[in-house]
Amino acid sequence: MTSPLTPQEIQTQIAPLFTRHNPNGIYLANHSLGRPLDATHDKINEYLDHWYSDLDDAWEPWLQTLDSYNAKVKSLIRLPDPGSVVLKTSAGQGLRAVLNCFPQRTLNIVTSSLEFDSIDFILRTYEAQGLVKTNWVNPQPTEPVPTLTADDFIAQITPQTDLVIISVVNFTTGQLFPDLDKVIAHAHSNEALVLLDTYHSFGVIDQPWPDADFAIGGSYKYVHGGPGSCWLAIANPQAHQTLDTGWFAKKELFGYARTADRAEDHRAWWESTPPIIQAYQALPGLEYLEHFTVEKLRATSLAQQAQMSQIFRDHNIPIFEPEDPTQFGAFSLLPAENHKEIVNHLKQNNIKVDSRNGFVRFGPHPLNTTEEFALVAQTLSKMN
């Protein structure tokens, strides 16, 4: 089993990468907006330097950087050939591209009622227009955290199902979806496609690529890449075509032919002129994951969560303790009806956390310290 980073390693190897970052208090919302790396500033300047110096010739290094971005994401999610990764501005944009690769009819979708809004809101909007019919899988009412099960999904998947959508790690509860391969196999046996939302597992969980058809993810959280740098992974780009396309997906990019012939390589799922700057801003975070490895960072996260939970317990704060922490993501939960009040109280004391659906979320980063965990616990214990 991989050991976590030691305090000395964190100070000598991690801290020097974040010297520009000044949280102005204690930042425990690393499961939300990730901390910016120093290299992000330099990488964005590199993008601008090409623009200032090279003008139209900047496209050569720009596209090389985009290729590097796609290749690094593909490697980190262990997507095998012929799979490819396409830069998107949001996870929702990736979802729409998948929805629009089916024949034009009402689609039958199976997903959970605990999906993040980038999925939930889009499906409900499509549903209101009669474009999809969604079977919402409700979680089991376990205490204190509701849980999703593979069997509940399998019960909803029929030969009429077109697409199954699953978050690998749930954004509300942090649950790592159990028996994912079992659900995927059942979906495929019913000729349904599977889309995975990896936003809370990308950079957190190191696992082989499940036999899914698509995945969406992004760099906003654990990959330190900021907003707008997301991606869609397609296991077999030639097996499907989407209406969400554009001229960068043309077979001959600069041929200007009046045809609908698409590229036969990874560009088949591209759209119009790509937002190159997003690849530059996310690349340092991908290199950060490559250098320290997801496995090492995961071990560090689990160790920090265990330490934080013990400190909270010592202060009689009822933080949720799963029987198996490895079956949850990179943040810990405090179940509380007054979750918004707790978040505001901590904010007034220069402690940044957030809450979702009745749970306060605490997401440590390697730079968070034992002293900070203790101060957060002391602040919570003083609430009336």
Q: What is the pLDDT along the chain (384 residues), one digit of tens a residue?
A: 799 999 999 999 999 999 998 878 999 999 999 999 999 999 999 999 999 999 999 999 999 999 999 999 999 999 999 999 999 999 999 999 999 999 999 999 999 999 999 999 999 999 999 999 999 999 999 999 999 999 999 999 999 999 999 999 999 999 999 999 999 999 999 999 999 999 999 999 999 999 999 999 999 999 999 999 999 999 999 999 999 999 999 999 888 999 999 998 889 999 999 999 999 999 999 999 999 999 999 999 999 999 999 999 999 999 999 999 999 999 999 999 999 999 999 999 999 999 999 999 999 999 999 999 999 999 999 985
Q: Which residues pair with 107 in a beta bridge?
A: 132
Determine how many CB atoms are found less than 10 A away from the CB of residue 143.
7
Q: Which residues pair with 85 in a beta bridge?
A: 233
CATH of span 42-290: 3.40.640.10
Q: Give the DSSP H or E segment for 134.
A: strand 132-137
Asked whether the domain spanning 42-290 has the same topology as the one spanning 7-30+293-381, the reply is no
Residue where the block lists tokens 């907006």: 33
Q: pTM of the full predicted structure? A: 0.96
What confidence score (pLDDT) does residue 384 get?
59
What confidence score (pLDDT) does residue 266 get?
83
Residue where the block lists tokens 């002391």: 378
Q: Contact 231/212 with Cβ under 8 angstroms?
A: no
Report d(CA 197, CA 199) in Å as an integer.
Answer: 6
CATH of span 7-30+293-381: 3.90.1150.10
Alpha helices, H only, the chain: 7-9, 38-54, 59-76, 91-99, 117-128, 150-156, 180-189, 276-292, 294-314, 339-348, 370-381
Coil, helix or strand for 283?
Answer: helix
What confidence score (pLDDT) does residue 158 get?
98
- Single out the residue of 310, 355, 311, 348 nearest to residue 334, CA to CA: 355
How is the chain split into domains, by residue range? 7-30+293-381, 42-290
Strands 214-218 and 193-197: parallel
Q: Contact 204/218 with Cβ under 8 angstroms?
A: no
Strands 332-335 and 359-362: antiparallel
Q: Contact 278/43 with Cβ under 8 angstroms?
A: no
